């Protein structure tokens, strides 16, 4: 079903009942339940059977607190609807629902590797379901969305599925269907009710978090093709877009996205309609997850070069990486820098940037994900940076220019573990400022007279520095020395390559930056 079969195609083939049979193997693996469109309540945009079954089987004692009251089910649905309209479904999934003295958890969080058995069992109690042909409209009961994904009865994603073999594509017909044919005044399609809307075919995926008629703006959710351009690479085992359900929409992955990636901008007190809902693009999701996985498997003392072009949304990638690195745990006891599998790898994450906007963005981002206040500390002077590091602030944001001021006075921090996230590493991160930062992080060098770039390379290779800090350099245009310093050896051993790439070619083809050479004419050609 997720391979791109849509309602029109199923009708043509006369296999409307065949979808249920095809989906049963997916259900039998314990991933998604096959929902029944008849269970959908269009007024409250909810799969009622799944919703009540989840609460009855996981939190019966909370339901008992309300069951003696008249119309208690209606009260729950009305409160749920009112809060989603005010704050969006994301807040309810994260924080639950309170009515009188009853508290309902609406999504059990994804456990860590070190979590207790009880936490794992609770997550397994979540009901992930997929329903085809959801008749979502109160005014037109014949109008249906191809597919809706629910968690415990609450919708989190819609999909319009197209098949290029029948002349239907996600880029054209799928997006146009959302823009022109879907009634966006209906509860299911109102902003914040679903987290994301996908247009999907066998070749490409597009997404949006806000449907607003013809002005709806869809972003590519593609991996990039084998030629570093837009689209997706050939998949020898299925459709090019198989990653959407094999990687992105598994219960574990979707829960992780909802817990750690999706966010609203602005303040919670701002009207919902004036806020922006961010869902990660594929390369943003991919790079953060690969960084975390590599850190968990290899410990502290690593270097990462993330070569992401302009138009990649690098600021969001950095904020997501910074927040999640403070919760990165080692997979084994004896990894470099590990203090045990029950202890985070890094004591602090230091974000080095010249952009004050990034400071504000990180703080707003963290506030949504963390219940702990004041874990982000701006450090724009040597005194502020020293205090933040010594007091164990989890995320510290500083400017590159301030590093020379703090080197001489900072305490010995070699017993602590750091992740240093560097914004635009190809420019002001080189030279003496970088050397000063290395020294501040516990690396001492006697070779003060070396050439600046030689000194950088030596510092990055010093055992002491590498033992207590990992460096992550985000840049669009790395210099050769930056590539050598932060990159990883190529498989053939000839040179170095980035840890992760989002190319300028892909950004141009996806429309995020202009191709300045497209209308380029040389003087010789012109004359």
pLDDT of residue 404: 47
> How far is 222 from 261, CA to CA, in rounded Å?
17
Low-confidence ranges of the chain (pLDDT < 50): 1-30, 403-411, 425-431, 444-466, 521-527
pLDDT of residue 442: 52
> How far is 225 from 315, CA to CA, in rounded Å?
24
Q: What is the pLDDT of residues 17-71, one digit of tens each?
A: 333 333 333 443 448 999 999 999 999 999 999 999 999 999 999 999 999 899 9
> How far is 320 from 314, CA to CA, in rounded Å?
10
| Strand 469-475 relative to strand 263-264, pairing | unpaired
pLDDT of residue 449: 42
pLDDT of residue 212: 94
> How far is 273 from 264, CA to CA, in rounded Å?
11
Angle between helices 356-369 and 314-325 (to 10 degrees): 50
Residue linked to tokens 């198989």: 242
Residues of the chain by 3-state class (helix, strand, coil), percent to 5: 40, 15, 45
Tell me phi and psi for residue 376, to 5 degrees.
Answer: -105, 125
Task: Report the CATH number of the 281-509 domain.
Answer: 3.40.50.300
| Strand 418-423 relative to strand 348-352, pairing | parallel
- Cβ neighbours for 510, distance < 8 A, ≥ 6 positions apart: 220, 222, 230, 311
Phi-psi region of 313 (alpha: psi -120 to 50; beta: other; left: phi over 0): left
Q: What is the pLDDT of residues 196-250, one digit of tens each?
A: 999 999 999 999 999 999 999 999 999 999 999 999 999 999 999 999 999 999 9
The domain ranges of the chain are 7-277, 281-509
pLDDT of residue 110: 93
Specify whether the CB–CB gap between 408 and 380 falls below 8 A: no
CA distances from 291 to 63, 254, 475 (A): 42, 18, 15
Residue 419 bridge partners (DSSP): 349, 470
> How far is 103 from 123, CA to CA, in rounded Å?
17
Specify whether the CB–CB gap between 145 and 134 falls below 8 A: yes
Residue 208's CB: how many other CB atoms inside 10 A?
A: 20
201: its two tokens: 């075919």
Specify whether the CB–CB gap between 353 and 399 falls below 8 A: yes
**DSSP type of residue 179:** I
């Amino acid at each position: 079903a997720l391979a791109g079969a849509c309602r029109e195609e199923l009708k043509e083939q006369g296999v409307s009942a065949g979808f249920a049979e095809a989906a049963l193997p997916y259900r039998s693996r314990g991933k998604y339940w096959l929902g029944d469109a008849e269970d959908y309540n269009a007024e409250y945009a909810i799969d009622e059977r799944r919703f009540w079954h989840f609460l009855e089987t996981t939190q019966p004692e909370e339901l008992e607190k309300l069951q003696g009251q008249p119309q208690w089910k209606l009260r729950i649905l009305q409160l749920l609807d009112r809060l989603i309209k005010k704050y969006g479904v994301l807040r309810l999934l994260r924080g639950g629902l309170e009515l009188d003295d009853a508290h309902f958890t609406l999504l059990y969080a994804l456990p860590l590797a070190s979590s207790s058995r009880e936490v794992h069992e609770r997550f397994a109690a979540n009901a992930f379901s997929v329903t085809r042909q959801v008749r979502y409209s109160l005014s037109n009961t014949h109008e249906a969305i191809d597919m809706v994904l629910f968690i415990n009865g609450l919708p989190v994603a819609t999909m319009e599925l197209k098949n290029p073999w029948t002349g239907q594509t996600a880029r054209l017909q799928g997006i146009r269907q959302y823009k022109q044919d879907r009634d966006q005044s209906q509860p299911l399609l109102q902003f914040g009710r679903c987290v994301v809307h996908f247009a999907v075919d066998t070749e490409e995926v597009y997404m949006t978090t806000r449907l607003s008629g013809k002005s709806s703006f869809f972003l590519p959710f593609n991996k990039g093709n084998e030629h570093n351009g837009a689209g997706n690479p050939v998949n020898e085992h299925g459709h090019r877009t198989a990653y959407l359900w094999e990687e992105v929409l598994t219960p574990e992955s979707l829960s992780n996205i909802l817990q750690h990636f999706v966010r609203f901008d602005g303040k919670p007190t701002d009207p919902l309609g004036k806020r922006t809902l961010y869902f990660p693009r594929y390369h943003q999701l991919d790079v953060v997850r690969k960084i975390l996985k590599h850190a968990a498997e290899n410990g502290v003392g690593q270097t990462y070069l993330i070569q992401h072009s302009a138009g990649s949304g690098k600021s969001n990638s950095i904020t997501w990486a910074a927040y999640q690195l403070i919760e990165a745990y080692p997979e084994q006891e004896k990894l470099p820098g590990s203090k045990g599998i029950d202890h985070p790898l890094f004591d602090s994450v230091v974000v080095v940037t010249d952009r004050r906007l990034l400071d504000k963005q990180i703080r707003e981002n963290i506030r949504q994900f963390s219940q702990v206040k004041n874990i982000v500390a701006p450090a724009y002077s040597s005194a502020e940076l020293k205090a933040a590091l010594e007091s164990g602030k989890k995320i510290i944001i500083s400017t590159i220019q301030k590093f020379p001021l703090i080197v001489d006075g900072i305490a010995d921090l070699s017993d602590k573990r750091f992740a240093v996230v560097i914004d635009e590493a190809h420019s002001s991160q080189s030279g003496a400022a970088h050397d000063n930062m290395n020294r501040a992080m516990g690396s001492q060098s006697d070779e003060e007279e070396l050439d600046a770039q030689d000194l950088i390379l030596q510092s990055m290779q010093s055992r002491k520095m590498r033992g207590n800090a990992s460096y992550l350099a985000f840049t669009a245009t790395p210099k050769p020395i930056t590539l050598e310093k932060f990159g990883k050896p190529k498989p053939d051993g000839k040179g170095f390559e980035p840890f992760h790439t989002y190319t300028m070619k892909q950004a141009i083809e996806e429309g995020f930056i202009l191709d300045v050479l497209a209308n380029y004419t040389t003087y010789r050609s012109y004359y």
